[in-house]
């Protein structure tokens, strides 16, 4: 049996990938609640809300790519 020196890293990457995917699904399902219209901030525009949503989704997608690369590293 061959010893894998990256096994702890792969275990961490797998767990972090699962958490990242769950966070991405949670944010996408509750997107309107998180990034919807807030009556307490009247100066906020729709483009500002869209930009905030874009930044959060891109950050989570980068985390998914990072951890999937760590998990499937050869």
pLDDT tens column, 9-59: 999 999 999 999 999 999 999 999 998 888 888 888 889 899 999 999 999
2 found inside a domain? no
Tell me, yes or no, if the pTM score tops 0.85. no
26 found inside a domain? yes
42 found inside a domain? yes
Asked whether residue 74 carries a pLDDT value surpassing 80, the answer given is: no
1 found inside a domain? no
CA 51 to chain centre: 16
58 found inside a domain? yes
50 found inside a domain? yes
Q: Which domain holds residue 38?
A: 7-71
CA distance 52 to 46: 10
Domains: count for the chain: 1
Closest to 66 measured CA to CA, from 21, 28, 17, 22: 17
66 found inside a domain? yes
């Amino acid at each position: 049996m061959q010893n894998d020196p990256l096994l702890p890293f792969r275990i961490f990457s797998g767990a972090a990938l699962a958490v990242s995917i769950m966070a991405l699904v949670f944010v996408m399902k509750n997107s309107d609640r998180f990034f919807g219209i807030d009556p307490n901030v009247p100066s906020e525009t729709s483009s500002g809300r869209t930009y905030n949503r874009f930044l959060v989704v891109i950050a989570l997608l980068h985390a998914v790519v990072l951890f999937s690369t760590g998990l499937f590293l050869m």
